[in-house]
Amino acid sequence: MNLPNKLTLFRIVLVPVLCLVWLFPYDAAGINIGYLTVGHVTLPYLNLIVLGIFALASITDFFDGKIARKKNLVTTFGKFADPIADKLLVNMMLLILSYKHMIPLVCCIIMILRDIVVDGCRMIAAQNGVVVSAGMLGKLKTALQMITIIIVLLNNLPFELWYIPVDEILIWFTSFISVAGGYSYFMQVKDYIFQSM
């Protein structure tokens, strides 16, 4: 197994680790993680631990693709596993942030449903021998999701010091871009979807 595929598998392994770290019942186990105070903002150390693991996973996403392209190590397994690893990581984070009431549930639902629709479109396109690239909106959506998750984990710091709700603005804007990107993808393959209706 080559290095890019190992990095992809490592990212997949980090997903349940993140889940366990984030949802572990620390209070019931008598563990006090503590928190950091910045101005009037309280930032639990647990958020920073989760942010560190999430950042590590995100960095592997950057490097596995870069190494695979640079050293001509692109494999079928990599093409299959890399997008799955990305979606597992991001969607798991969205679900937990929603569960902890840190982002609106509706935004989480919108983004996950968008991914399901796009995956369905990809399957139809592949069956017809058509490759549809992610496009600018798809790439923007992914970048916005990563940034939004980071800002939310930081309890909106540093913007919260000036009472600017950047986290709320970002999550709704990301949801909008997610829908727009999904619609753009759907429009590219709709002829194949409806051809035998």
Q: At residue 108, does pLDDT exceed 90? A: yes
Instruction: Determine the average pLDDT of the residues in 178-197.
Output: 85
Closest CA to 187 of 121, 120, 109, 128: 121
Residue 67 or residue 169, greater confidence: 169
Amino acid identity of residue 162, one-letter, is W
Average pLDDT, rounded, for the chain: 91
With residue 117 as reference, give the H or E element that holds it: helix 105-127
Cβ–Cβ under 8 Å, residues 91 and 57: no
What is the number of domains present in the chain? Answer: 1
The contacts of residue 160 (CB under 8 Å, 6+ apart) are: 39, 40, 41
Residues 135, 184 contacting (CB under 8 angstroms) = yes
Per DSSP, helices labelled H in 154-165 are none
**Mean local confidence (pLDDT), 81-94:** 92
Query: Would you state the pLDDT for residue 134?
Result: 66
Q: pLDDT tens across 11-42, in order?
A: 999 999 999 999 999 999 999 999 999 999 99
Q: At CA 178, angle to CA 50 and CA 64, rounded to 5?
A: 55
Q: What domain range includes position 55?
A: 3-193
DSSP state of 160: G
pLDDT computed for residue 133 by the predictor = 66
CATH code where residue 68 lies: 1.20.120.1760
Give CA–CA dist 32/51, Å, rounded: 18
Question: According to the model, what pLDDT value does residue 197 have?
Answer: 60
d(CA 117, CA 132): 14
Specify the pLDDT at position 66.
82
| Distance between CA atoms of residues 132 and 9, nearest Å | 25
In the chain, pLDDT over 70 holds for what percent of residues?
Answer: 97
Selected residue with higher pLDDT from 78 and 151: 151
Q: Would the pLDDT of 61 be above 90? A: no
* pLDDT tens string 120-157: 888 888 788 777 766 788 889 988 999 999 999 999 99
Check residue 140 and give its pLDDT: 92
Q: Is the pTM of this model over 0.85?
A: yes
- Of residues 144 and 191, the one with the higher pLDDT is 144
Whether 76 shows a pLDDT value over 90: the answer reads no
Pick from 5, 146, 140: which is nearest to 67 by CA? 5
Asked if 150 and 51 touch (Cβ cutoff 8 Å), the reply is yes
